[in-house]
Structure 1
């Protein structure tokens, strides 16, 4: 399968590794129970690549694609995230992913959906040390509750391997609107409902 369409311009920074590590803490804000990785060769292995920055060189846990070189991650967060940086680390071989396509707030995407226009496409370079930082568009990724990462191709191998995905940004708790209203109506007061037809005056709630 030709892979030439996967190579192009690179957009990344070489940052100070020590400072970088402190900022890459969004792995702790991922809803791991609901994280999905499609086309992983070993069930559940996709979750293992979201780990502390100091474990990024750990080669014992990684995800490898199964049927072809594509991998698709559906990543729900436990709140809202302003995404500021991404690191993708693999081995220094052709199994390293060559491109990353990002989709914002589109839960449960499948490979049938990847023909959609991505919110951002990033050309990747081989990074076995976990030190190349890619910058998401700040305006686009300023309020992310769900991030989809699609790796469509690698540098020419039959399968893709990823050892570490780092996410940097700011996290704020999510607001779950409507929960209290639902609980109200779950236990209606019948007397209130009977009197509704008498109450046509607009109420001003203080």
Structure 2
């Protein structure tokens, strides 16, 4: 794995509105519905496919049945494709017990082919994480950096001292826009010219010339 020679300023903004009801919070953190779940990848997960299980409904966030755990060391890299474009505004994370909870997350925008060798690059934003078993702490992103997101990579480089890192839940908040496909439709339509139209125009031109 690549060494990490960068030292970046870490955004530690977190927000939680005590006046928001559980139902409202659940509606806010519903971007998991816009994830192309079948294509989610997690590098260094102990069990294949377990990374995608941490994206679940708000009311299931404390469920301990499904989780992802790192294998060879503390690092995890989650690669998350969306079905459209997202303006990411915040995230919530519930990590594992004791020292297995990740201590840091680094966010990368629109780098679908990213692997551990690329994690030395500067992230769009990073947060130092607090253990949060109830899922109450929100880390708010710098929205200007996270508009037009069709793929999000989350790199967890470390935890609080355990050999492996464990995550139960990741909640994402933001706005979603359907991917535009009109251009493809227009091109397909214009490519299907009617030969009869061209034949008629040709005959008209010939007749006009004879006259």
1:106 aligns with 2:111: yes
State the partner residue of 2:78.
73
Q: Which moved more, 1:136-145 or 1:180-189?
A: 180-189
TM-score using structure 1 length: 0.82
Q: Is the 8 A contact 1:49 1:165 kept in 2?
A: yes
Deviation at 1:66, TM superposition (A): 0.5
2:67 paired residue among 62, 67, 91 = 62
Q: Determine if the alignment matches structure 1 residue 13 to structure 2 residue 18.
A: no
**Over aligned residues, Cα RMSD in angstroms?**
2.5
Gaps of 5+ in 2: 1-6, 198-211
Q: Find the counterpart in structure 1 of residue 50 from structure 2.
A: 45
- Residue-by-residue CA offset, 1:53-92 (whole Å, 9 max, x unaligned): 1000000000000011101011110111111110010234
The reply to whether residue 148 of structure 1 matches residue 153 of structure 2 is yes
Tell me if 1:172 matches 2:174: no
Deviation readout 1:8-65 (Å, 9 max, x if unpaired) = 8732123336232221000000001111111100000000000001000000000000
Aligned residues: 188
Distance in 2 separating the partners of 1:156 and 1:189:
69
Shift of 1:189: 8.6
Structure 1 match to 2:100:
95
**Bigger radius of gyration:** 2
Q: Which runs of 5+ in 1 are unaligned?
A: 193-206
